[in-house]
Structure 1
Amino acid sequence: MGKLRSLPAETGVAFVFIFIVGFLSWRAPDFATWANIRLLTKQAAELMLVSLGMTFVIATGGIDLSVGSLLGLSGMVLGLVLLHGGTMITACLAALGVGLLVGALHGVLIGRARMPAILITLASYAAARAGATMIYNGGSISAIPLSMNELFDNTLFAGLPVLLWVSLIAIVFSWVLLRHTSFGRSLLALGGNRRATYLTGVPTARIELLVYMLSGLCVGLAAIIDVALKATATPDAGQYLELQAITAVVLGGTSITGGQATILGTALGVAVITVLLSGVRLMGMEDRVGWFFVGVALLLAVEAQRGWRKKGDISS
């Protein structure tokens, strides 16, 4: 048992990923094809960005239930700017601005006003989705430049899809930020013991503000990718994204109660969810079956964390 506990937090999800890939390669002939792998990298990029931002939030002991709705809102703002003659750069900056603004609002209310994260982000979940629907009277916006779609959908760099490079850069940046900066150490300390961290002089309110702004920025980037790939801004974009992101983070080994986080684990969690949902479709099953498995994975991951914590308490 001691040897099992000494294994990295990412080990379990890595084995799950290998098993699912092997099973799908056997049962679904179209799974292990270059065309499907390219499709998977596109599907994973959006979830990867949101999940990395969610990792920082959960590491502080917080939660963000608004990411899916905020992606829809940011995407619709992007489309609206383009519809009214704005440039692609201006539209992308607007989408990022929406994410940062909402993230900053979360940070102020949660970090400084000490309001519960689950209630604040749940309210944003509803408000952002309503705002996305109201922007164009519930309709979609298709005034997306072809060049924007080509950049994210068909561009290769060094023989690999550009969105794969986006994901890799985001993973490396997040890992460095979490493991090799005072900001990363402070947010982990905050999640481990909020009061003790505050008493040591760490500006906890500022840390939480920056964490939620970072999450909002990641959602804004994901919204740009979502709109570019679909060549359309839709008000219902990002549905179930919060479920996927939280599952990926917890499945990867980040503690749901904060204080412990792993970027590599989150990346593996995203990979598991992406191949699982793709495999369900390739095997001719409905998407709801995939969502069922994602929900079960989240419950099992949380229960596994509870079990490890109890064993750790007993052994100590």
Structure 2
Amino acid sequence: MSKKFLFSLIIVLLITNIATIILLGDGDDETTVLPDKEENIDVEKPAATINGENISYEAWMKSLRSEYGQMQLKQMIDHTLVEQLAEEKNIEISEKIIDRELAQLVSIGGVMSAEETKKWKEKWREDIIYRFQLETLLTEGVSIPEEEIQSFYDKYKNQYDFSERFQISHIIVKDLATAEKVKAELDEGASFNLLAKEYSIDEETREDGGYLGYFVSTSQFIPHGYKDIVQDMEPYSYSDPVEIGKRVAIVYVHQTLPEISFTYEEMKPYVKNELALDQMDQNLNAQPLWNNADIEWVYED
């Protein structure tokens, strides 16, 4: 997955959240609900107060519409148009491709709960499908020689695959008695993060709740013995105390991301699209698709 796509996806998600605020605040109701917040926001009260000076809810909404309204409406048109054309032309994206892109995004997303992961994957999935359908539509009719596609795939095929990864934290203590005490508290529902800050003697990770990060299963950097510990563990679970040298560890698995590999035939259409975009010197922008569509919008000149 390219850095350009990651950046554009982040921007898309940012704009989407801003647009949600705008849309939720567009009615005449006296309250609204911000995304990811359960409490109602009273639209009659200031959105913010700075040293006694108020910023009204209305001023806030006006600023959002002014700064992001046109951009968001264009994005909504782009997505609707691409969805219409993809359905018309029967353009479907491989679930395997989608799973790989989701795995890449999850692996850079930091620590997330199961609920957060599910929510973000639902958002990301839509943008992944949009991106690949748009690539297909933009490169329709562009011919790339078979040998060029094969050569490019052979050169970069390892980059198309996704290696198995584990996201882990740990608590390191001096002896088995302390480890058993920590394990008992975990069994009673205590937070692994907080217990790591309280008990762990690993100076490098203690303040981060024992967080170590993601490790490819074949990585030489995964702590000694941890691969065997986490191999059969379920996500959001912790191990029994395990003696590692002169210390005792309890390992927590946040996420497990399975290996995803592709054959040439599976990747061929997507490699072709990638090469075609380069040949066309075309950015990933739906604007060219507007030329043959009947579109009317409030920002027309």
TM-score by length of 2: 0.23
Q: Specify which structure has the bigger relative contact order, considering alpha-carbon pairs within 8 angstroms and separated by 6 or more residues.
A: 1
Greater strand content:
2
TM-score by length of 1: 0.22
Greater helix content:
1
Which structure has the larger Rg over C-alpha atoms? 2
